Amino acid sequence: MLKSVTIIGGGPTGLMAADILSQHNYSVTIFERKPSLGRKFLLAGRGGLNITHSENTNDFLKKYGKNHTTFKSLINKFSPQNLRDWCENLGEKTFIGSSGRVFPKSFKASPLLRAWLSQLKTQNVTFKKKHDWLGWQDNRLLFKSEDKNILIKSDFTILALGGASWPNLGSDGSWVDILKRNNIEISELQPANCGFFVNWSKVFTERFAGNPLKSIKIKYKEKKIKGEFIITKEGVEGGAIYSLSALIRDVINIEGEQRVFIDLRPDVSLEEINKRLLNKPSKVSLTNYLRKNIKLSEVAIGLIMELKHKKKFKNLNAQNLGFHIKNFELLLQKPFSIKRSISTAGGVRFKSIDSDFMLTNKPNVYVAGEMLDWEAPTGGYLLQACISSGFFVANNILKKKNNS
């Protein structure tokens, strides 16, 4: 008789686990609370699916911070190159972008997801949609579908329910209370790869909300990040901000609001900027001069004009203005809500699982993906780790069968 595996969560972690196990004579069923699978995966691909990164393994693993040792075994078993080969086997060739990030050549998530689901169907994976997991009852899994409660008995269970960001796509963190009731230790869920609130003036917000600030360098403590970010009505978000968000969030949690400094022209020295400012003709407006001679963007000029709002502009001379161009101070108040963050920090603590990622107090129940207590920056590291963990857990179930 076939061994049964119930996978709860139809994102990339659960899909990869299903892919592996269904190829090895297991009866696999995926339970998904939404009407379709891979919703957050599709959202991630809306601007071009960044599936992994091409940098060397040591630098890659550093992106997982305190958990880099744990993730070493996952990434070694299913590496970025393995992920690229797997994509190609599904008919989606990949390429390396100028930043080292890896994308499908179609630059979309939908073709890859369609091919993936089609393959799972040919491998006899069963999909149960609109099934909401409620926990356990009498050692069986309890689901609610429409108005009915359903009990499922399974040889193995994989929990792959995601974090709590973008809850409208399915992963809302409701599993936290279920696991806590079963004495499983959880680190508090927090926003990761998130934006921050900034007290903009009304004039600045009305003019620049939704615009990117490009080709800048952000400095926070000893960290310096080149890139860009987006001005929003409430504050800032985007790549360069996300890269520092974990560090800034943790300090804000302890100390309150934090200052970061933005170099608006990182490719030009302070001395050169001061020289250009001293040569400004009196008849030329400051904004026009900053645009034409300092080559500041409209958004960057808007930030400089914000100094008026902060009452710092009145006594500025050319040298002081140059300093602010190279060291614009931005006060970040607190992170945006977890609902609008890219990903989630916190989750099931690693001391609650064994080396195979099986819950220590729930035999044959495994946890994978964003549910676990880890975080990583954007750039392909999130998706790689989720898919690698699904591969890792599936192979640990196979190993258990082979050893029995």
**Residues 145 and 202 occupy one common structural domain:** no
Say yes or no to pLDDT of 404 above 70: no
**Residues 143 and 203 occupy one common structural domain:** no
pLDDT band at 124 (very low <50, low <70, confident <90, very high): very high
Distance CA 306, CA 303 (A): 5
pLDDT band at 312 (very low <50, low <70, confident <90, very high): low
**Residues 26 and 142 occupy one common structural domain:** yes
The pLDDT tens digits for 253-291 are 999 999 999 999 999 999 999 999 888 888 888 889 899
| Chain position carrying tokens 């001391």 | 351
**Residues 158 and 31 occupy one common structural domain:** yes
Ramachandran category for residue 347: left, alpha or beta (phi over 0 → left; psi -120 to 50 → alpha): left
> Do you know the residue count of the chain?
404
pLDDT band at 46 (very low <50, low <70, confident <90, very high): confident
pLDDT band at 200 (very low <50, low <70, confident <90, very high): very high
**pLDDT at residue 314, as a whole number:** 57
**pLDDT at residue 307, as a whole number:** 81
| Chain position carrying tokens 């990339």 | 12
**pLDDT at residue 348, as a whole number:** 98
**Residues 204 and 182 occupy one common structural domain:** no
101-104 sheet: strands from edge to edge: 52-53, 101-104, 94-96
Q: Which two tokens stand for residue 202?
A: 């009304």
Percent of the residues in the chain that have a pLDDT greater than 70, as a whole number: 97
Give a yes or no: residue 76 inside a domain. Answer: no
CA of 104: how far to CAs of 82, 83, 130, 345, 377, in Å? 14, 11, 30, 27, 20
Domain boundary among 332, 367, 382: 332
Q: Is the pTM of this model over 0.75?
A: yes
Contact 393, 366 (CB under 8 A): yes
Report the run of H or E that residue 347 belongs to, with start and end. strand 343-348
**Residues 202 and 184 occupy one common structural domain:** no
Distance CA 89, CA 218 (A): 40
* Bridge partners (DSSP) listed for residue 260: 330
**Residues 245 and 371 occupy one common structural domain:** no
CA of 120: how far to CAs of 50, 252, 351, 378, in Å? 22, 44, 33, 28
Domain containing residue 10: CATH number: 3.50.50.60
For the chain, the distance separating the N- and C-terminal CA atoms, rounded to the nearest angstrom, is 15
The pLDDT tens digits for 217-248 are 999 999 999 999 999 999 999 999 999 999 99
> What would you report as the CA-atom Rg of the chain, rounded to the nearest whole angstrom?
24
Give a yes or no: residue 88 inside a domain. Answer: no
Average pLDDT over residues 184-212: 97
Domain boundary among 332, 361, 378: 332
E strands, 122-194, in order: 126-129, 132-137, 140-145, 148-152, 156-159, 186-192
Give a yes or no: residue 211 inside a domain. Answer: yes
Residue type, position 33, single letter: R
Long-range contacts of the stretch 117-120 (C-beta < 8 A, 24+): 117/15, 117/37, 117/38, 119/19, 119/90, 120/15, 120/18, 120/19, 120/22
Give a yes or no: residue 94 inside a domain. Answer: no
The pLDDT tens digits for 96-107 are 999 999 999 999
**pLDDT at residue 315, as a whole number:** 60
**Residues 141 and 276 occupy one common structural domain:** no
**pLDDT at residue 311, as a whole number:** 58
Distance CA 280, CA 292 (A): 11
**Residues 185 and 200 occupy one common structural domain:** no
The pLDDT tens digits for 331-354 are 999 999 999 999 999 999 999 999
The dihedral formed by the CA atoms of 136, 140, 142 and 145, expressed in degrees to the nearest 10: 170
Give a yes or no: residue 71 inside a domain. Answer: no
Average pLDDT over residues 200-208: 95
Say yes or no to pLDDT of 90 above 70: yes
**Residues 161 and 39 occupy one common structural domain:** yes
Contact 158, 366 (CB under 8 A): yes
**Residues 288 and 172 occupy one common structural domain:** no
The dihedral formed by the CA atoms of 31, 36, 39 and 41, expressed in degrees to the nearest 10: 70
Domain boundary among 332, 352, 375: 332
Contact 359, 367 (CB under 8 A): yes
**Residues 396 and 267 occupy one common structural domain:** no
Long-range contacts of the stretch 293-299 (C-beta < 8 A, 24+): 294/265, 294/268, 294/325, 295/265, 295/268, 296/264, 296/265, 296/325, 297/213, 297/214, 298/208, 298/211, 299/208, 299/211, 299/212, 299/213, 299/231
E strands, 193-342, in order: 196-197, 212-220, 223-231, 235-237, 258-263, 328-332
* Bridge partners (DSSP) listed for residue 216: 227
Average pLDDT over residues 161-190: 96
**pLDDT at residue 401, as a whole number:** 72
Percent of the residues in the chain that have a pLDDT greater than 90, as a whole number: 89
Domain count for the chain? 2
Long-range contacts of the stretch 66-75 (C-beta < 8 A, 24+): 67/350, 67/373, 67/374, 70/350, 70/374, 71/374, 71/385, 71/388, 73/392, 74/385, 74/388, 74/389, 74/391, 74/392, 75/384, 75/385, 75/388
Give a yes or no: residue 92 inside a domain. Answer: no
Q: What is the average pLDDT value for the chain, to the nearest integer?
A: 94
Distance CA 403, CA 366 (A): 17
Give a yes or no: residue 338 inside a domain. Answer: no
Domain carrying residue 160: 3-43+109-190+344-403
Give a yes or no: residue 84 inside a domain. Answer: no
